[in-house]
Structure 1
Amino acid sequence: MSNPNLKPSLRMPVIAALKSDTHAADSTYPTGAVDMGAHINIMAVLAVGAITGSGTVEFEQATTDVFSDAKAIEGRTAVDLVAEKPVQLNLKANELDVNNGFRYVRAKLTTVGGSVKTGILVLSADAKDQPFAPLTGTIVD
């Protein structure tokens, strides 16, 4: 669980990201891989701007960080994005198919029929070892 003696930036560090941009139509944009062996809970946060088509966001799982065997997480569906609305997408480590070796996840933005202006931050809500180091390049004050 979170240690209240740590700064919030150390209790919920950014662990993966997708650059904020206008993402082109009919494409998929993933964040980097997150090893859920180090986290109990994570959360993807999006600040959605203009949408000219439609877009969704979801978590997908894989057995390695290259995602050659990526698959959906059972019981979950992609979340439809709404222009100018934020999104928070939660995931617990026990939702993964760990019996078949799936331990890596990433958030995936999919655009259809038009562009979507957004970025994604994936935060660790409960790292197993705290403090957990944030993603390289994260500015923490």
Structure 2
Amino acid sequence: MTVNSTVSPSAHVAPVGVIPPKTQAPGSVSTGWVSMAQLAVGQAIVQAGTLASGASVAAKLVQAKTDSGGAAKDVDGKAITPLAVSDKVAVLDFRASDLDVNGGYAFVRLTLTVAGADAGLSAVLLGLSPRYGKASDHAAEAVVEIVPG
């Protein structure tokens, strides 16, 4: 694949979902729902910071029919092996076609689940290869600035 080096990287990839760095008690936290209608592929980057003794961080993609999470269900095969060691990163690639598009599913979110004890964590859900326009047009509300290259 040839990439035009004169085009800003944010034309191709942008953070469309964010879980800001935090210490999370056992339980779950998720990004907002992201429409995959204009994005061909995505990538979730999960970061485990300091994990208390016995803590682990799991991550999975969840799909829905609406931007409010209607009929939510897991995306088949899109979960990481839980991170149980501090300062590790896991990457989860996916395509819009991994969603149950025939069933009307068009939205996705990343959910992290902490088990055992508190865990430092953060995550970014990247949207790549927009069908129209720039990827940065779909950036999450939490993104306050994208400096084009």
TM, length-normalised to structure 2? 0.84
Equivalent of residue 140 in structure 2, options 118, 124, 135: 135
Shift of 1:70: 1.1
Gaps of 5+ in 2: none
Q: Does the residue aligned with 2:37 lie in a helix, a strand or coil?
A: helix
Question: Alignment RMSD, CA only?
Answer: 1.9
Paired with 1:64 and 1:46, the residues of 2 have a C-alpha distance of 24
Q: For residue 46 of structure 1, what is the aligned residue in structure 2? A: 46
2:21 aligned partner, one-letter code: S
TM, length-normalised to structure 1? 0.89
Matches within 5 A, 1:107-118: 107-118=110-121
Number of residue-to-residue matches in the alignment: 140
The Cα offsets for residues 99-137 of structure 1, whole Å up to 9 and x where unpaired, read as 111110000000111112111111112111131312234
2:24 aligned partner, one-letter code: H
Provide the identity percentage. Answer: 25
Which of the two has greater strand per residue? 2
Aligned 8 A contact 1:22 1:117 in 2: yes
Shift of 1:47: 2.6
Paired with 1:124 and 1:88, the residues of 2 have a C-alpha distance of 13
